[in-house]
Amino acid sequence: MNDQGCQVLVTGANRGIGLEFVRQYAGDGCLVIACCRDPLKAAVLNTLAASSGGKVSVHALDVSDFSQIERLASELKDQAIDLLINNAGFYPHGSFASTDYDEWQKAFLINTMAPLRMVEAFVEHVAASRLRKIVTLSSKMGSITDNDSGGSYPYRTSKAAVNMVMKNLAIQLKPRGIATCTLHPGWVKTDMGGANALINVQQSVTGMRTVIDRLSTDNAGRFIAYDGQEIPW
């Protein structure tokens, strides 16, 4: 999306994949609404914003607090958003027989429910834009077909469930000209992906941006990896 002036909103923008989305879209001339839980601690994002010539604005947003989502949507009510990126994610640890059910609820709140709440809150902003796209970062670990190693019950289920959320949205928002899809970023070297991951954030985000460029209401509702491959549900 090499469009000067397009407006992009990113959640979880202070580190990892979210920060790289901000860097790349702002670098290509987009205006970026960069959301993070605690702007006072977002040193790298703040530096990026300060040197962006006004292209990056930083906003406080904990996506698990729906009143914050509603407040931000209201503050930005006159702004069209071409691309909404639900990137914020949480990986709870624990395995069979040591499942932390509180962490599981938190995973559902952040990974599954918050993306839908974001879309409900920002759908008019997106509908008012030119490009009208919404994507959510899921994970191949949410694919039931691809699961051949088991484990990670809270994370896998929260991502499998958000896949259904996004498929639903593709159907329901198509009449409004809004295209949605679910993305797998690859196994990426971030705090979540760890040092042994296969690709870096630049490769992941560059690939996902190509997928987003090609996204339209005609091919919406799919689960696509950063390299363009379609992932089975």
Ligand X SMILES: NC(=O)c1ccc[n+]([C@@H]2O[C@H](COP(=O)([O-])OP(=O)(O)OC[C@H]3O[C@@H](n4cnc5c(N)ncnc54)[C@H](OP(=O)(O)O)[C@@H]3O)[C@@H](O)[C@H]2O)c1
Using CB under 6 A, list all residues that contact ligand X: 11-12, 14-18, 36-38, 61-64, 87-90, 110, 137, 139, 185, 187-188, 190-193, 197
Cβ proximity to ligand X: between 29 and 94 the closer is 94
- What's the closest the beta carbon of residue 166 comes to ligand X, in angstroms? 12
Cβ proximity to ligand X: between 170 and 188 the closer is 188
Angle at 182 between CA 179 and CA 188, to 5 degrees: 135
Counting every residue, how long is the chain? 233
- What's the closest the beta carbon of residue 205 comes to ligand X, in angstroms? 10
- What's the closest the beta carbon of residue 82 comes to ligand X, in angstroms? 20
**DSSP-derived secondary structure for 116-136:** HHHHHHHHHHHHTSSS-EEEE
In sequence order, the β-bridge partners of residue 136 are 86, 182
- What's the closest the beta carbon of residue 130 comes to ligand X, in angstroms? 26
Closest CA to 193 of 55, 89, 97: 89
- Crossing angle of helices 16-27 and 201-214, in 10° steps, is 60
Cβ proximity to ligand X: between 191 and 218 the closer is 191
Cβ proximity to ligand X: between 6 and 110 the closer is 110
